């Protein structure tokens, strides 16, 4: 119960990594705002998993690429719990396209959600977050591994790492820590839907620990960064990728 009495907002938490993070934070005592963009059913399942275990959680709809939605999301968090101690910027989008196929729409849809959405959520969280707050950005091993065929996505995650380092310095005087978690390939509904699972054998062959990651491999790392156990850590990009770099 390292997070007892804390309030956490997790964006993109209706499935996959975000759902695992929300459940883990709830299990460690946090009251969790489970954000979703379209899947209310998925968010409700996450809320039920937390509350059935004795925790506290609500579902809150918002497209974090839209500033008005983000403002509403944090207003709901305030109305439910009165404050925000932890923000997990997990919401993100992946659509592969090699350099010759990048379009204006492909560029903007990635940067609007993966980067601008993170900025919007961070700005709103700061209105309710005091000393001891923790912001955790979900980045990717592809911020530095830079796999071919995904240049725009890679660029957004490089931006996330850069924002993590810069925000950590800007917010340190307020005693708010900012870190990122950089997962390797994690088996989620999303990678199956996008067909990325078809490349899993190649990724596993490159991964020293020899397997795909699971959402529950990432959630404990986020919980650590959210807790006082990591109180002397800020501005770090922590790779949770089975040794893949």
Backbone angles phi, psi at 59, to 5 degrees: -100, 140
Going from the C-alpha of 223 to that of each of 27, 39, 173, the distances in angstroms are 10, 24, 23
pLDDT digits (tens, 9 = 90+) for 83-123: 999 999 999 998 888 899 999 999 999 999 999 999 999 99
**Which residues are registered as beta bridge partners of 136?**
88, 179
Distance between start and end Cα atoms, the chain: 32
Other CB atoms within 10 A of residue 54 CB: 9
What's the whole-model pTM score?
0.96
Cα 104 to Cα 214: distance, rounded to the nearest angstrom: 32
Helices of type H across the chain: 16-27, 40-52, 67-81, 104-111, 117-126, 142-145, 151-171, 189-193, 200-206, 215-226
**Which residues are registered as beta bridge partners of 213?**
186
Catalytic residues: 153
Digit-by-digit pLDDT tens for the chain (245 residues) are 999 999 999 999 999 999 999 999 999 999 999 999 999 999 999 999 999 999 999 999 999 999 999 999 999 999 999 999 999 999 999 888 889 999 999 999 999 999 999 999 999 999 999 999 999 999 999 999 978 888 999 999 999 999 999 999 999 999 999 999 999 999 998 878 777 888 889 999 999 999 999 999 999 999 999 999 999 999 999 999 999 98
pLDDT digits (tens, 9 = 90+) for 51-95: 999 999 999 999 999 999 999 999 999 999 999 999 999 999 988
**Six token digits for residue 217:** 């491999």
Cα 89 to Cα 66: distance, rounded to the nearest angstrom: 14
Burial 166-195 (b: 16+ CB within 10 A, else e): ebbeebeeeebbbbbbbbbbbbbebbeeee
Question: Residues 114, 106: contact at Cβ < 8 Å?
Answer: no
**Six token digits for residue 15:** 């499935």
In the sheet that 237-240 helps form, which strands lie side by side, from edge to edge?
Answer: 56-61, 31-36, 7-10, 86-89, 134-138, 177-183, 237-240
Cα 112 to Cα 103: distance, rounded to the nearest angstrom: 14
Superfamily (CATH) of domain 7-240: NAD(P)-binding Rossmann-like Domain (3.40.50.720)
Nearest to 64 by CA among 114, 14, 126, 108: 114
Nearest to 226 by CA among 142, 104, 120, 133: 133
């Amino acid at each position: 119960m390292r997070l007892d009495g804390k309030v956490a907002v997790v964006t993109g938490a209706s499935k996959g990594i975000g759902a695992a993070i929300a459940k883990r934070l709830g299990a460690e005592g946090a009251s969790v705002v489970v954000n979703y963009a379209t899947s209310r059913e998925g968010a409700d399942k996450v809320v039920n998993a937390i509350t059935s275990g004795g925790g506290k959680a609500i579902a809150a709809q918002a497209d974090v690429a839209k500033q008005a939605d983000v403002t509403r999301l944090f207003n709901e968090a305030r109305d439910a719990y009165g404050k925000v101690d932890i923000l997990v910027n997990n919401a993100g989008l992946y659509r592969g396209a090699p350099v010759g196929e990048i379009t204006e729409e492909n560029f903007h849809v990635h940067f609007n959600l993966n980067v601008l959405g993170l900025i919007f959520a961070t700005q709103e969280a700061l209105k309710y977050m005091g000393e001891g707050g923790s912001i955790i950005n979900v980045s990717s091993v592809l911020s530095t591994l830079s796999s071919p065929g995904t240049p725009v996505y890679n660029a957004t995650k490089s931006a996330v790492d850069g924002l993590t380092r810069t925000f950590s310095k800007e917010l340190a005087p307020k005693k708010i820590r900012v870190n990122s978690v950089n997962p390797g390939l994690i088996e989620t509904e999303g990678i199956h839907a996008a067909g990325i699972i078809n490349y899993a054998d190649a990724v596993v062959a490159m991964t020293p620990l020899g397997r795909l990651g699971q959402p529950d491999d990432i959630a404990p790392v986020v919980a650590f960064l959210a807790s006082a156990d990591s109180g002397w850590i800020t501005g770090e990009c922590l790779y949770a990728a089975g040794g893949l770099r």
